[in-house]
Chains A and B, each alone.
Chain A
Amino acid sequence: MNGSLTGAAANRIANAVLHFFAFEFTKVKKNQEYLKSKDGWINFSIGLTTENGEVAQSIWFKDGKAKVKSSVEGVDTKLILKDTGVLAQLATLPPNEVLNLMLKNKMASSGNMQYLELFNLMISVLMKDKQVKQMHAQAEERAETGREMVDDPDVPRKRPPLEFLKSETTDPGVKCIGDDQYLSTYKLDQYPRLRKFLDKHLSDRPAICTERAVLQTEWHRKNGFETKPDGTPWVPELRQAYMFKYLMENRKPIIRKGDLIAGTTTTKEIGVPIYPDGVGLLIWGELLTVSERMLQPYEPLEDWEIKTLSQDVFPYWVHRNFREYVREKYHEPKCQKLDERWAACFMWKNVALSHTIIDYPKLLRLGLTGIIDEVKAELAKKGNSEDKKNELEAMILCYEGMIAYARHLAEQARKEAAAETDPKRKKELEVIAEAVAHSPEFPARNMEEAVQAIWIHWVGVHMESTNAGFSLGRMDQWLQPFFVADMAKLKTKEEKDAYISHVIELLGCFYLRCQDHVPLVPDIGNYLFGGSSSDQAITLGGVTPEGEDAVNDMTYVFLKVTEMLGMRDPNVNARYNASKNSEAYLRRLCEVNVHTTSTPSIHNDETVMASLVDLGYAPEDLRDWSATGCVEPTISGKHIGHTNCMMFNMVAALEMALYNGYHPLMRWRVGPKTGEIADFKTFDQFLEAFFIQLKCLADLTCEYNNLLGEAHAVLRPTPLMSAMTADCIEKGLDVTKGGARYNSSGTACIGLADIVDSLMAIKDLVFDRKKYTFRELVEAVRVNFEGHEAMRSVILTETPRFGSGSDEAVEVANRVTKYMKDCFWEHLNYRGGHYTTGFWSMSNHVAFGALTGALPSGRLAYQPFTPGLTPEANASKSLLDNIRDVTRLEPTSMNNNIAFNVKVNPSPRDTHAQTVEHVKNYAQAYANMGGMQMQFNVVSSATMRAAMARPEEYKDLMVRISGYNAYFTQLNRDLQLELINRADYGM
């Protein structure tokens, strides 16, 4: 088959292929297994059609039989191909490339997306061998092109020994550590346990863990979902609470061999939990092949796991997930269609409503029983409504489940201690048993208990809701009292040193525990979100709620652990308050960046707080902010900010403005008609058109986000999280319904620098200097500058860019950010809060770039945008121009924070101290000038190229993408090249 296929012929072929499917899945017994579920046969229909309707075929499965029809009328799920050429590609491409056809809008789906995944599984049942062969060939090609990145791929990696600074001063908040607050003498080599876990983390493949999904499904099959077995409707909060309790009571209490911390989020060393009410079913199509894919392959699934998921779990949830709830209730609204075309937005609300920080200090203060008592006291009050009582009862059930799990862990630790023959390990297990027997059930009395309690609750949070961006908050603040109290009990220096060393190891284990789960990434996600973990942010430093210097002993302990392990997760964010925090602290932040190449990210505390003025936080709450997920500010314990509800492609609106509301890749007039190119007489007229298109997209995405918000409240209320979020108990209202004291939804707006550079090119060349007509420029853009190379050169060399020190470009940037922020601010979310606006991009600047044509900025079609709001690599030869321009952006227009990437390359002539000093100077000046957030990659492009050539030696090479960290060698090729092509500033 090929692109020149006639419609009629293609239609016949499609019919034949579907008949082949019908035969294979009705006559071949072992294939039929995949159509069976615990509820009986899976009945569904899939249609295959082209945009012009020349091809229209469908296959209908009913009660184990199959029928092919020459029509797509009434099918559950329709696959709409751009043309017959795509049909040919469908049959020959490896599965990930087929997904890319979807991403690139060569085909689109309509109707229940889960059936498409089932259909993909059926394809892989028939074609597995061929698919695997293709995937292996891709991997080989990747390895080969990797070797081409350097002249001599056979030169092994050199690892010069690290040097460590000693602090010349001691911060006022550092009470116990003593003179060496940088803890410069503690090295990873002293902790073989951590070394071993770290090696496993870097080398083991993740494995799908079915435990949560199986227990969850088991409970619902018995007790119902929409209704109880007696036919009465379930109160969603209570249903979730009973299910959660059952889950916690019945999951396996695991203490990893050799670990100091009890409990796991999954049953695997590195598990991929499945949340079928979110997007868990997206892995359905890959159950047979996920171990063979090129990027992030998982361990192969056991046969029973495949069977359980495909026959028991997944069929139960086909309609019971956020996406399909909205589709069915609101008839696949336009806003949902927009999301499912990938090019304009990515709605994280389909996945989760997590991205928040609950009240861990309350857990340490009250323990699980104390929390139950608090809820019971509220429940005992007179005049509570039924709804309130239900929510409060749901909270109690959840915490009973938590207690059960904690007791199981303590018991497990005791059992293992009794059986242990190695006296050292026996002692460790006894310590664990003793700590867990007390806490989290009761208030924590020491560091050991506090860390165990936080981890066990962390596990609970991840059993209730999807592992996407749940964050840990101000751990240094919350653990400092335990550190000080424990130290006060110790007499000798040896005892104190041993204790500090133990705390480092304990928290090292905690960091490594956080690696025991990774988010489920269907292969399509590898292209959208390369190498992202679940982004469990920790926040250090800053000021206390009273406004005093908050840097303390534990700040430096956490920095030590961060430095020693150099891992992508927890995602460490440091608040630097230039008025209150010391220079020594900032220097240490920079040293850790130099050693780990990319963490922690540094937030200028005062500017972040200034950016939040419109949110109306109480001053003491504002000063207690911490970062969530990537960088986004959340008021810990009081706020559901779903700070990453959507990734928003601003550039799509620019394309729509250039083409009168029409989006070229989606082949869809999404937006209103804002004028033909010839109609624009002034720059401001065009800017207005762009703003109208932005508003159109913002309206649609907010509408969809709100519908998904409703889906969460109905399908997955979270009473556990609610009990740990301020005001929910008093209101008796779940966080999914707006129970939290503060509510908001955070957006990530992508492509700011590309937009500003494009607008500047239009302004400068078309309207100011009149060097080209607008029509000429747009024509050049439309054909990707082919035949217009001179024009592109003029754009690249003459037009003022963001990051070049151009006042005008900064002004345009501020107009765009302000408009964007106002646009989102006017919407209220499902929980009654405002939408906030951020300018960071995870890895979607690459993904959205791949779905966007050429731009007036001179950027060629399908190339990445710049990460976050980072200026384009050639904007200026001087990093300082970049830094200065970013500091001139108005903070209040960026109230969901920013990600500003700075890639610096240490000079081999500089000493370690000099290198750190250079980085510190940049960060210090940036803060003094009022910049907001800054994140470094202290690594050269040459090193990254070497890593592409010899990936096995660079597994630990960590890079900052936009907001989050990832391991370079796990990234897709586009993302690797984007990192290499970032401006490389020598130091």
Chain B
Amino acid sequence: MKSPLVLELKGNSLDDGPGIRTAVFFKGCPLSCVWCHNPESKHTEAELSVSLSDCIGCGTCKKVCPQKAADLAQQGIVDRAKCVRCFLCTESCPPKALQRVGREMSIEDIVKKCAADKPFYEVSGGGVTLSGGEPTMFTDWVGELALRLTEEGMRVHLETCGMFDYEKVRGKLLPYVSSIYMDVKIADREAHRKYCGVYNDVILENLRRLFADSGEMGFSLLPRTPLIPEITDTDENLTAIMRLYKEIGITRTELLPYNPTWYGKTEKLGVSVPAELEGVRHWQSSEKLEHCKDIFRSEGIDC
């Protein structure tokens, strides 16, 4: 059973499903969306994060790095070509300016940590959210986790991009899930491949099947679309998604306004911002958001 790396256990999460939740973010995603808000969640392997603003210039990293790749104090850099991700520097960096992104955690450890906040889930209708990255990249392991969480009386919410082996997920994960947010990003097949790296056939098929199974298996499903300027927030794309929902019978969706706060993360990981998004480091206007919502509302879809 392949065990995933966990990016973060985020307590007191109010935006990842109903009520107060703990969100478990897994590392690794089958898509590669150009706007990805969590660039650290793309790859399944551990990465090195460098936060220059936390560096106190003590020079410890230079002393411990066997590859002579890290020298934050003098150079302000880690030479990523030389770095072999041994993470020795992260263990000795006093202010934790150098950090390992992604660590192994046991299922029981996660269950225990999540269980501490049960009183908050209970009063708010919250629980634990499995997110990422893409949790279904590790369906066996994540299914086991979801089972244990439900056994301990915590409701499990899944956030997925929809790119997964349906039968496997249906057998191992869905029985323990009480609600799902699924991203529906781009309706057009080619555009999806262009911006997200893969065709969307599997995703759209999984959306139909999730919807079909939701009643019988007792989970709720909310498809959501992140509004990326000029990519997903076009009338054409949103109208196509709306038609798809009408056809399937979906009556409720959520549109996620563009959030520009992720740019800082790219620097820490040493990755570049895609050219398409260089010009839009700002929040979406409420007028634009209302316009997008109207596309769905006018056809009787809640959002």
Contacts and interface: CB of A to CB of B under 8 A. Distances in A.
Whether A and B are associated in the same complex: the answer reads yes
Given A789-B56, A880-B120, A921-B123, A797 B11 contact: no
Interface string B26-68: 0000000000000000000000000000001010100000000
Interface in A785-804: 789-794, 796-797
Interface string A895-925: 0000000000001010000000110011011
Contact of A790 (B58, B116, B120, B257): B58
Interface string A875-888: 01111110110000
B244 interface: no
Interface string B1-27: 000000000111010000110000000
Interface in B90-106: 94-96
Contact of A791 (B14, B94, B116, B124): B94
Contact of B119 (A805, A917, A928): A928
Nearest to B117: A880
A602 B46 CA distance: 44
B94 A921 contact: no
A485 interface: no
A840 B20 CA distance: 28
A805 B116 contact: yes
Contact of A925 (B56, B95, B96, B122): B122
A790 to B, nearest CB: 4
A81 B120 CA distance: 55
Nearest to A884: B116
A880 B95 contact: no
Given A880-B12, A929-B119, A797 B94 contact: yes
Contacts of B123: 921, 924-925, 928
A880 B94 CA distance: 26
A790 B94 contact: yes
A794 B95 CA distance: 6
Contacts of B95: 790, 793, 796-797
A803 to B, nearest CB: 12
Interface in A905-957: 907, 909, 917-918, 921-922, 924-925, 928-929
Contacts of B11: 876-881
Nearest to B60: A790
The DSSP consensus for interface residues of chain B is loop
Interface centre among A789, A792, A880 (most CB of B within 10 A): A880
Nearest to A929: B119
A359 to B, nearest CB: 38
Given A789-B58, A925-B120, A928-B119, A918 B94 contact: no
B49 to A, nearest CB: 14
A726 B12 CA distance: 47
B111 to A, nearest CB: 15
A921 B124 contact: yes
Interface string B243-259: 00000000000000100
Nearest to A927: B123
Contacts of B122: 925, 928
The DSSP consensus for interface residues of chain A is helix
Interface in B275-296: none
B20 A921 contact: yes
A929 B11 CA distance: 17
Contacts of B20: 880, 918, 921-922, 925
Nearest to A914: B14
B14 A790 contact: no
A60 interface: no
Contacts of A881: 11
Q: Which of the four size classes fits the interface of chain A?
A: 20 to 34
A792 B58 CA distance: 11
Interface string B104-136: 000000000000110110111000000000000
Contacts of A907: 14
A878 B95 CA distance: 20
A190 B292 CA distance: 39
Contacts of A884: 116-117
B251 to A, nearest CB: 21
Nearest to A907: B14
Contacts of A924: 123
A985 interface: yes
A103 to B, nearest CB: 32
Contacts of A922: 20, 120
B126 to A, nearest CB: 8
A377 interface: no
Contacts of A879: 11-12
Given A921-B123, A925-B122, A793 B10 contact: no
A987 B11 CA distance: 12
A794 B120 contact: no
Contacts of A986: 14
A894 to B, nearest CB: 20
A878 B60 contact: no
A918 B14 contact: yes
Contacts of B14: 907, 918, 986-987
A789 B95 CA distance: 9
A885 to B, nearest CB: 10
B281 to A, nearest CB: 16
A570 to B, nearest CB: 29
B119 A790 contact: no
A797 B12 CA distance: 21
Contacts of B96: 793, 797
Nearest to A876: B11
B130 to A, nearest CB: 18
Interface centre among A789, A792, A921, A924 (most CB of B within 10 A): A921
Contacts of A794: 94
Nearest to A923: B123
Nearest to A879: B12
Interface in A943-987: 985-987
B94 A925 contact: no
Nearest to A986: B14
A793 B12 contact: no
B18 to A, nearest CB: 11
A793 B119 contact: no
A389 B281 CA distance: 81
Nearest to B125: A921
Contacts of A880: 11-12, 20, 116-117, 120
Interface centre among A791, A794, A805, A878 (most CB of B within 10 A): A878
B92 to A, nearest CB: 10
Contacts of B60: 790
A793 B19 contact: no
Contacts of A985: 12
A841 to B, nearest CB: 25
Nearest to B8: A877
A793 B116 contact: no
A797 B120 CA distance: 26
A353 B123 CA distance: 42
A792 B14 CA distance: 33
Contact of A878 (B10, B19, B124): B10
A878 B12 contact: yes
Contacts of B10: 877-878
A877 B11 CA distance: 8
Interface string B55-94: 0101010000000000000000000000000000000001
Contacts of A918: 14, 20, 124
Nearest to B286: A908
A925 B12 contact: no
Nearest to A921: B124
5 contacts: A793-B56, A880-B117, A880-B120, A918-B20, A921-B124
Interface of B: 10-12, 14, 19-20, 56, 58, 60, 94-96, 116-117, 119-120, 122-124, 257
Given A880-B117, A883-B120, 13 more contacts: A789-B56, A794-B94, A876-B11, A879-B12, A880-B20, A880-B120, A884-B116, A909-B257, A921-B20, A922-B20, A925-B124, A928-B123, A987-B14
Instruction: Give me the 9 closest cross-chain CB pairs, A-B, nearest first.
Output: A878-B11, A793-B94, A793-B95, A921-B124, A790-B94, A790-B58, A924-B123, A878-B12, A925-B120
